[in-house]
Amino acid sequence: MKVLSVDVVNSKLLLTHKKSLVNSKMASITSYSDLRTGMIVEGCVVSIKPSGLVVTFYNNVKVSDSVAARRAFNHVQNSI
Residues 27-74 pLDDT 10s: 888 888 888 878 888 888 888 777 777 888 888 888 887 665 566 666
3 closest CA partner among 11, 12, 14: 14
Per-residue confidence (pLDDT) for residue 27, from 0 to 100: 81
Domain count for the chain, please give it: 1
pTM: 0.61
- Among candidate residues 38, 39, 40, 4, the one with its CA nearest the CA of residue 21: 4
Range of the domain at 10: 2-79
